[in-house]
Amino acid sequence: MLYSRHLSAPIMTTISANLQAVCARIDAAARRFGRDPAAVTLLAVSKTWPASSVEAAAAAGQRCFGENYVQEGVAKTQALAALGLEWHFIGPLQSNKTRPVAESFAWVHSIDRLKIAQRLSEQRPEHLPPLQVCLQVNVSGEASKSGVAPDEVAALAAAVIGLPRLQLRGLMAIPEPIEDFAAQRRAFASLRETFEQLQRGGMPLDTLSMGMSHDLEAAIAEGATMVRVGTAIFGERQKP
């Protein structure tokens, strides 16, 4: 069922309409907070959804897609290779699963330790462009959440930026889900401040990957350059 190519017309229409609505939210939030809407990239998070759903989103103009699970994500990159989409790996990554990610994805957002970065660097094929990477930061301090501690980001960034076949682009975070807008902004502000500290230290970073369906406005207010949206585009998650 994962790769059924027979989505009904109503589902295709729904995905297209949802994409338009999300893009309108991004545009409105950017303008509200004095930012250029073109400076915010939408990453459609297609984890657990079939390749046919990705095709429907691609037909509606979406080009960048995010996956959390290695086997599922690699299968989609292969099944939809002819579409020329840009694939981002955004989930936790174990060291024994780095090779297929290094070989199949254009971006990895979830580097939280040097060993993972080193393996990705070693395993990135020479014929492909450098793998674009972000460091995942645990801004909420949750024990169950992946990510490097904020006070360890600079050291990890300094180590990663020197690795061949990788290009360090910026930082990513998944803050603890909260409803209060001001509290959402504070969590994203902490990541932005870390990002700006690295920039002041001379690191040529340009990507803040933060914000999802429920909090993208707060993320854009605090400088997000990439928002990762799944539910608002594809609907409630299916079981993987």
pLDDT at 140: 82
The pLDDT value recorded for residue 105 is 98
Question: For residue 75, what are its two tokens?
Answer: 């299968």
Question: Mean pLDDT of residues grouped by 10 in the chain (240 residues)?
Answer: 54 93 98 98 96 95 98 98 98 96 98 98 98 95 82 97 98 95 97 98 97 97 98 80
pLDDT on residue 44? 98
Going through 34-180 in order, the beta strands assigned E by DSSP cover 41-45, 64-67, 86-89, 107-111, 131-136, 166-172
Q: What is the pLDDT of residue 1?
A: 30
Q: What would the two tokens of residue 163 be?
A: 């690795």
Q: Going from the N-terminus, what domains does the chain have, and what CATH number goes with each?
A: 9-234 (3.20.20.10)
Q: Can you list the alpha helix ranges (DSSP code H) found in 6-140?
A: 9-32, 51-59, 70-79, 98-104, 114-123
pLDDT value, residue 2:
40
Residue type, 54: V
Q: How far apart are CA 3 and CA 52, in angstroms?
A: 6
Q: How far apart are CA 69 and CA 80, in angstroms?
A: 16
Q: How far apart are CA 209 and CA 182, in angstroms?
A: 19
